[in-house]
Amino acid sequence: MNDIRRNLPVEEQLAILRRGVVDLVTEDDLRRKLEKGKPLRVKLGADPTRPDLHLGHAVPLMKMRQFQDLGHKVILVIGDFTAMIGDPSGKSKTRPPLTLEQTRANAQSYLEQCKLILRDDPELLEIRFNGEWLEPMGYADVIRLASKYTVARILERDDFTKRLSAGTPISLHELLYPITQGYDSVALHADVELGGTDQLFNNLVGRALQRDYGQEPQVVMTLPLLVGLDGTEKMSKSLDNYIGLTDAPDVMFAGLMKVPDPLLPNYFTLLTDLPQDRIQELLAGHPVAAHRELAREVVAWLHPEADLDAAEERFRSVAKGGIPENLPTVTVSREELGENGVSMARLIVLAGLEPSNGAARKLIQNRGLRLNGETYTEAQGTLGQEDLAREGGAVIQKGKDRFARLVLGS
């Protein structure tokens, strides 16, 4: 990442900030704000519905980092209060709300991971929880806020329109979400708000509310939703098409080598600082070389101390059917083994390769598990003491690059 460049000419700042942006409402407004020569207040809201992040979350965070590198202050708004409502953006049904305790617990992990990308400098980073201003609001305050926006305008949102047409219920609290999120921009006097393309409507509500409250309207910038490794849908942990922000360097490297070729331009543009002419040069060459450059760039960015050569060598070894040397080790106690051994499904769960015995058995039935390099097909099978006591233990493998070494404990 670049050093801070506070005095970069406005047009050069714009060129950096426009990179990868889908919607910019409006560029003229952003130019005028930059021309004032004062650090902008750049807001990104996040409802901490999950404690872990993936590279899809990194896209807006990287844009925040670019603002920081230009000397502007970014405000990471943790929606501890709005997460209790549940953002309906892009949803076909009501999303279950979380408790305040759940959102705040998730937020701690979320913040630690965000700081892998953002500069942790109080002059350039402000962290706020929107419960600060939303929780104290009384019923009269909510009524006044609701009076600022019409039902007709709220129902212009695409997902609400689709649900109405389909006869799918929309709860009243969901209609309040956009204005509640929009009020964050009023409370923070935001100059710019970032978000995914699915947040365009909500962010424009914030722009309109600021105008109603006598503030200069914020600029709205949206970024594309990163498509996952399946090449069809946005990156999501629930779809198992993701690369985790805290994945080990070798795991992240292997994941990036699997990015479908048509997605390479987006991954390069959104997740690296490489100049466009260098990106075009890579895309015109061999796809494997382009994947390698992408993997090395992204891993070096998120794991500055990583041994990139070792990560690449591990990937090559696994791609040739080999078993890497350094594997996570799971110690299985003799008590757990008992006289009849322990089920393979249980061992898969202990190794963290699947969340439940049922999912583990399904993995075996689908021929997705290897034991010591050989496909394992016994869904009800077990391993005994002799299997784990052998030199090197037993190595189980899910897919191409998720391994665990099982060894016998005392």
Mean pLDDT of the chain: 88
In a shared domain, residues 261 and 388: no
Number of H helices, E strands in the chain: 19, 13
By the 10 Å C-beta count (0-12 exposed, 13-18 middle, 19+ buried), 400 is classed as middle
How many CB atoms within 10 Å of residue 156? 11
CATH of the domain at 197: 3.40.50.620
Domain carrying residue 376: 329-408
Contact indicator for 63, 118 with CB cutoff of 8 Å = no
Residue 127 DSSP label: E
Residue 378 lies in a domain: yes
In a shared domain, residues 338 and 192: no
Question: How far is the C-alpha of 76 from the C-alpha of 127, rounded, in Å?
Answer: 5
Sign of the torsion angle spanned by Cα atoms 54, 60, 66, 69: negative
In a shared domain, residues 200 and 253: no
- Which helix or strand (DSSP H or E) is residue 369 part of? strand 369-371
The fraction of the chain above a pLDDT of 70, given in percent, is: 94
Residue 390 lies in a domain: yes
Sign of the torsion angle spanned by Cα atoms 338, 343, 344, 347: negative
In a shared domain, residues 79 and 45: yes
How many CB atoms within 10 Å of residue 257? 19
Query: What is the Cα gyration radius of the chain?
Result: 24
Q: Examine the pLDDT at 188 and tell me if it is beyond 70.
A: yes
Residue 227 DSSP label: B
Q: Examine the pLDDT at 94 and tell me if it is beyond 60.
A: no
Q: Examine the pLDDT at 300 and tell me if it is beyond 90.
A: yes
Q: Examine the pLDDT at 93 and tell me if it is beyond 90.
A: no
In a shared domain, residues 138 and 57: yes
In a shared domain, residues 80 and 211: yes
Residue 155 lies in a domain: yes
Please give the structure tokens belonging to residue 191: 């100059």
In a shared domain, residues 315 and 400: no
Q: Is 384 helix (H, G, I), strand (E, B) or coil?
A: coil
74 strand-pairing partners: 42, 125
Q: How confident is the model at residue 87 (pLDDT cuts 50, 70, 90)?
A: low
Residue 286 lies in a domain: yes
Contact indicator for 241, 56 with CB cutoff of 8 Å = no
Tokens 């910038």 label which residue?
221
In a shared domain, residues 31 and 51: yes
Question: How far is the C-alpha of 290 from the C-alpha of 281, rounded, in Å?
Answer: 9
Residue 324 lies in a domain: no
The answer to which of 165-174, 211-220, 253-262 has the lowest mean pLDDT is 165-174
Residue 373 lies in a domain: yes
Q: At what angle do helices 10-18 and 27-35 cross, to 10 degrees?
A: 140
Please give the structure tokens belonging to residue 157: 């949102």
In a shared domain, residues 51 and 85: yes
pTM above 0.85, yes or no: no
**CA 397 from chain center: how many Å?**
26
Contact indicator for 157, 182 with CB cutoff of 8 Å = no
Q: Is 361 helix (H, G, I), strand (E, B) or coil?
A: helix
The answer to which of 2-11, 15-24, 389-398 has the lowest mean pLDDT is 2-11
CATH of the domain at 345: 3.10.290.10
Q: How confident is the model at residue 1 (pLDDT cuts 50, 70, 90)?
A: very low
What's the CA dihedral at 131, 133, 136, 139 to 10 degrees? -110
In a shared domain, residues 272 and 215: no
Structural domains of the chain, count: 3
Consult the annotation and say whether 400 binds a ligand. Answer: no
Residue 354 lies in a domain: yes
Read off the pLDDT of each residue in 89-98 and give the average, rounded to a whole number.
53
Question: How far is the C-alpha of 175 from the C-alpha of 179, rounded, in Å?
Answer: 8
Question: What does the angle CA 287 – CA 297 – CA 262 come to, to the nearest 5 degrees?
Answer: 35
Question: How far is the C-alpha of 230 from the C-alpha of 222, rounded, in Å?
Answer: 23
Residue 159 lies in a domain: yes
Contact indicator for 399, 254 with CB cutoff of 8 Å = no
Question: How far is the C-alpha of 75 from the C-alpha of 128, rounded, in Å?
Answer: 7
In a shared domain, residues 159 and 110: yes
Q: Is 192 helix (H, G, I), strand (E, B) or coil?
A: strand
pLDDT at 318: 80
Contact indicator for 2, 273 with CB cutoff of 8 Å = yes
In a shared domain, residues 333 and 315: no
CATH of the domain at 310: 1.10.240.10
